[in-house]
Structure 1
Amino acid sequence: MEYDVVIVGAGPAGLSAAIRLRQINPEISVCVVEKGSEVGAHILSGAVFEPTALNELLPEWKSQGAPLNTEVAEDHIYLLKNGEKGSRIPNFLAPKTMHNHGNYIISLGNLCRWLAEQAEGLGVEIFPGFAAAEVLYHDDGSVKGIATGDMGISREGEQKDSYMPGMELHAKYTLFCEGCRGHLGKELIAKYSLDEGKDPQHYGIGIKEIWKVSDEQHQQGLVVHSAGWPLSESSSTGGGFLYHIEDNQVVVGLITDLSYTNPHVSPFDEFQRYKHHPVIKQYLEGGERIAYGARAIAKGGLQSQPKMSFPGGLLLGCDAGTLNFAKIKGSHTAMKSGMIGAEVVAEALKAERQSDDLVEYAQAYQDSWAYKELHQQRNFGPAQHRWGNLIGSAYSFIDLNLFNGALPWTLSDPIADHDCLKTADRCQPITYPKPDNKLSFDKLSSVFLSNTNHEEDQPIHLQLKDPSVPLAINLPKYNEPAQRYCPAGVYEVVTNESGEKAFQINAQNCVHCKTCDIKDPTQNIRWVAPEGTGGPNYPNM
């Protein structure tokens, strides 16, 4: 199938690009492919949403029914200590990027569903349930488009009765908007050396739940952020969040930076502990947990951002690392990157160019408020990694509040997250409390709430480059950390009937967070797209 533009991923960046293209020229043919069963099924974010880009893209969004229903009413920021104590930080002492006046607490999945309706109303074709499995190239090396994955292939690689071959979608330009650690984006970055001269990308794993609570516990519009405990006990960095949305619902989550050094750390279990802190527990106790999910975030900032153009396409949104980690927000910057991409592509098509390297995108992006915002906060993440949450935040207060991000240096963060792990014998083992099934829970009951499902008889989409590595290297050196960094119980070291250890991959559980592809210390795990519609089905995340 031939299009002017093919977009991979129906997230904020991809849908904003699609809408903007058709706004500029309704004759441009635009196709969006989305691996989730529906638009929004794989979307997970906190999310406090800054409407800057939405105001530009669809100024009448309020009258058009955009699902921005809860405006932030109050900000609380805490430094948590030792599981019992917590100090509230005065707002004037917090980095100003943490202030949320004028923002909204939303379900990003529901916003994407609404954006998809606006795009389809403009004539964009959206194909949910089709995973982009392969980049197609012209003979000259430029991108030609993508191929969706075959469906109906057995675990052994044979065609089943349900076999349906994938489609080739050809385009004059292809925009990759897969979100954090996109598997095709990763390929493109390597093929075209887009990250040459850059710091490695840095990541966090965000784990989130939605709770239904009583009237007495609910304060619609309240935003709570925290640093310190429980991550401080394992010398890890990151932070927690708790947001009160409409319908007596509370969103709670924890972001663990994947630069942690202790291989015994389990981000899932750190999150379960987090909910027991009195500051957090007061809003959840007696409530009902109704949703669970996890997703990695790209938080390296400008120092880690690759070149975003290559022959035949663009890398946009979190595929390129546009998230503003100092704000813990990426949707508005992702949307803006998509809008700029659409404007550059529309100009190229108008000039009858195709498959070019749209190098002019870099200047258009640098002229935007999105780039200026990321430049202002460029030292926030490296400061947290170098000095921890407390000193790092103090530095950021000086940098952002006093100097508005204009200090004349840029901190580097040159060690990749997977290279940060120390060997297990050098680190203190961590004994996590057992779940009480009131505030804390196990992985399998959590995955159940994510509505995750994959066709069971299909090739495993979590590929080991060398199947011997987990037991031969990762187990003796790092106590095989995949057992702990995965928030869905995908990886297990089991003892078989003969008494021998085996590395088991429960691919059916995978929530597509991409943490394994990021944190595996030997970079032996490769995440590829499973059959379309596979993975979580988030209703309201």
Structure 2
Amino acid sequence: MSERESMPYDVVIVGGGPAGLAAAIRLKQLAAENSAELSVCVLEKGSEIGAHILSGAVVDPRALDELLPDWRDDCPLARTPVTENHHWVLTAGRKYEFPHIVMPPFMNNKGTYTGSLGNLCRWLAEKAEGLGVEIFPGFAAAEILFHDDGSVKGVATGDMGVARDGTHKPDYQPGLELHAKYTFFAEGARGHLTKQLKQLFALDADSQPQVYGIGLKELWDIDPAKHKPGRVIHTQGWPLDDAWGGGFLYHQENGQVALGFVVALNYKNPHLSPFHEFQRWKTHPAIRAILEGGRRVSYGARAINEGGWQSVPKLVFPGGALVGCSAGFVNVPRIKGSHTAMKSGMLAAEAAFAAIAADRAGDELTTYPDALNASWIATELKKVRNVEPAVAKLGGTIGTLVAGADMWMRQLGIGLPFTLGHKPDHTKLWRADQCQPIAYPKPDGVISFDRLSSVFLSNTNHEEDQPCHLTLKDPDIPISYNLPLYDEPAQRYCPAGVYEVVGQEEGNPRFQINAQNCVHCKTCDIKDPTQNINWVVPEGGGGPNYPNM
């Protein structure tokens, strides 16, 4: 094997999402303010910045206002301020408007904006590069590097040109090592390197387990007569029964609506398919009325942190820090996390710059979690910390009432005298014979669709002749254990049709992995009941290529 080349930086950032880019910009701002030299690079596994970014999105601009006060002058997000805010409770055939007057004031979307988070990241990347940040899209961080004392030294990108059988193809290129005084991990929810760091440094020893939802999204061009720029709709209730989640529909620029559905991954019934629940939700008369006469133009899916404040792990370790959704700062009831992710990156940047400037590089960045605990991130997340676990334990109706009462009390300076905990999502599945099978309607190809045609719209592509990035710790478990107990739920929880059980009718079942379809949502890594599936990065640039998600 050829020896890997290395490049030194002051700070290496893994992930070109809101948190990573905000951190990069803040580092360069501080360097300019102090007439200092500081080298910063961002690694992004997608083919370009924004290619793997998927969110609703309604964005609270609080962090943007702090980072780049003039952002409204040219940022695409500024084009569509939120003008209407609706919350619908759905039954099978009707909708009921939930009055906002009963919600705490911080649940209001006043002053927010709706648009493509991917395009916001593309704009942030331009600002970062203008400040001198080096951004490397198409390079996946595949390995953590360590100093002899066990501290993080940096990361290495994956080798390129490796065949499925592990041999080197003619275009083989070894990965590149990036060494840094500090390495920030901004991989998003369920980052594969973050998962390793949590284990190596016991970062989650004193926190609750992180729990997740799966968010599925489509973009539609709709009838101009139905389009109301800035109109925001959230729904709860139908079609979910004993599972928890809800839908969203945001009227964005250019006559488009972004719509989607989130299902908490603590659901019990292994027969449930989040993708098919999403397709069924679109057939509700209130949703169908908006979509009829329109055209679907894009699709994608991504896991979402839902653990809240009590699931935030230790943020620092020798040589680095977790920022953004790698740590989990999503405000679940507000369905917002971009602003908190960006702020966490900014606070980590300030701590790292101070350490480097004081020649203390290598010291653990304890000032970062101290600053975060004193910030508006902590204030905001503490207010809503019982929402997700209350609903998970008590169900949609009673849980919502308890969560709402707790949020109101915390708004008034009091609240429940305890913090509810979580159990990992993969422990929540019941056996298949304990649950009712779900008969999903056949897609009509107009409002509802199948998974393969949906994946096509995500522009997903992987080099086929490469090692499978969906690895099994034990290849026998899917058929010997998951199939008889859970009817192999990977067939249904995956929103891209990656996993299949073939040959069952012939009495010779075989577990098939269609890795080419993978949209990098991480649901399999989260929900597999024995944690047998381990998601690792494919060759750089592989995966979805979202244009405006």
Q: What TM-score do you get using the length of structure 1 for normalisation?
A: 0.98
Maintained 8 Å contact 1:382/1:411: no
What's the offset of the Cα at 1:397?
2.3
Q: 2:122 matched to which residue of 1?
A: 113
Query: 35-44 vs 407-416, which deviates more?
Result: 407-416
| Unpaired segments ≥5 residues, structure 2 | 1-6
Q: Using the alignment, how far apart are the partners of 1:436 and 1:98 within structure 2?
A: 36
- Aligned counterpart for 2:259 among listed residues 236, 252, 255: 252
- Which one-letter code corresponds to 2:100 in the other structure? N
Q: 1:98 matched to which residue of 2?
A: 107
Q: Using the alignment, how far apart are the partners of 2:483 and 2:269 within structure 1?
A: 14
Deviations 1:363-416 (A, max 9, x none): 111111111111111111111111222222222322223441631423323311
Q: Using the alignment, how far apart are the partners of 1:382 and 1:497 within structure 2?
A: 41
Question: Do residues 165 (structure 1) and 174 (structure 2) align?
Answer: yes
Q: 2:151 matched to which residue of 1?
A: 142
Q: Using the alignment, how far apart are the partners of 1:308 and 1:229 within structure 2?
A: 38
1:2-13 equivalences under 5 Å are 2-13=8-19
What's the offset of the Cα at 1:24?
0.2
Q: Using the alignment, how far apart are the partners of 2:82 and 2:135 within structure 1?
A: 32
Question: Do residues 333 (structure 1) and 345 (structure 2) align?
Answer: no
- Which one-letter code corresponds to 2:68 in the other structure? L
- Which one-letter code corresponds to 1:421 in the other structure? L
Question: Do residues 227 (structure 1) and 236 (structure 2) align?
Answer: yes
Maintained 8 Å contact 1:310/1:356: no
3-state DSSP of counterpart to 1:68: helix
Q: 1:424 matched to which residue of 2?
A: 432
Q: 2:306 matched to which residue of 1?
A: 299
Q: 2:547 matched to which residue of 1?
A: 539
What's the offset of the Cα at 1:98?
3.4
- Which one-letter code corresponds to 2:51 in the other structure? A
Q: Using the alignment, how far apart are the partners of 1:497 and 1:323 within structure 2?
A: 43
Maintained 8 Å contact 1:11/1:179: yes
What's the offset of the Cα at 1:68?
2.4
Check 1:319–1:261 CA distance in 2 against 1; reply closer, same or farther (3 A cut). same
RMSD: 1.2
Question: Do residues 286 (structure 1) and 293 (structure 2) align?
Answer: yes
Aligned pair count? Answer: 538
Question: Do residues 526 (structure 1) and 541 (structure 2) align?
Answer: no
Q: Using the alignment, how far apart are the partners of 1:457 and 1:98 within structure 2?
A: 48
Question: Do residues 355 (structure 1) and 362 (structure 2) align?
Answer: yes
Q: 2:509 matched to which residue of 1?
A: 501
Displacement over 6 Å in runs of 4+: none
- Which one-letter code corresponds to 1:6 in the other structure? V
Check 1:491–1:97 CA distance in 2 against 1; reply closer, same or farther (3 A cut). farther
Q: 1:378 matched to which residue of 2?
A: 385
3-state DSSP of counterpart to 1:441: coil
Query: 502-511 vs 208-217, which deviates more?
Result: 208-217
Question: Do residues 34 (structure 1) and 44 (structure 2) align?
Answer: yes
Maintained 8 Å contact 1:95/1:393: no
Q: 1:54 matched to which residue of 2?
A: 64
Q: Using the alignment, how far apart are the partners of 2:512 and 2:200 within structure 1?
A: 31
What's the offset of the Cα at 1:106?
1.2
Deviations 1:483-538 (A, max 9, x none): 00000000000018975110000000000000000000000000000000000000
Q: Using the alignment, how far apart are the partners of 1:475 and 1:387 within structure 2?
A: 29
3-state DSSP of counterpart to 2:71: coil
3-state DSSP of counterpart to 1:226: strand
Check 1:538–1:220 CA distance in 2 against 1; reply closer, same or farther (3 A cut). same
Q: 1:414 matched to which residue of 2?
A: 422
| Unpaired segments ≥5 residues, structure 1 | none
Maintained 8 Å contact 1:144/1:355: no
Q: What TM-score do you get using the length of structure 2 for normalisation?
A: 0.96
1:261-280 equivalences under 5 Å are 261-280=268-287
Q: 2:160 matched to which residue of 1?
A: 151
- Which one-letter code corresponds to 1:537 in the other structure? N
Deviations 1:417-475 (A, max 9, x none): 00000000000000000000010000000000000000000000000000000000000
Q: Using the alignment, how far apart are the partners of 1:304 and 1:224 within structure 2?
A: 28
Check 1:496–1:431 CA distance in 2 against 1; reply closer, same or farther (3 A cut). closer
What's the offset of the Cα at 1:134?
0.3
Q: Using the alignment, how far apart are the partners of 2:417 and 2:144 within structure 1?
A: 38
Maintained 8 Å contact 2:211/2:422: no
Q: Using the alignment, how far apart are the partners of 1:497 and 1:113 within structure 2?
A: 48
Maintained 8 Å contact 1:96/1:400: no
Identity %: 60
What's the offset of the Cα at 1:231?
1.1
Q: 2:3 matched to which residue of 1?
A: none
What's the offset of the Cα at 1:179?
0.3
Question: Do residues 89 (structure 1) and 89 (structure 2) align?
Answer: no
Deviations 1:188-246 (A, max 9, x none): 011000000221101000000000011122111110001111112xx000111000011
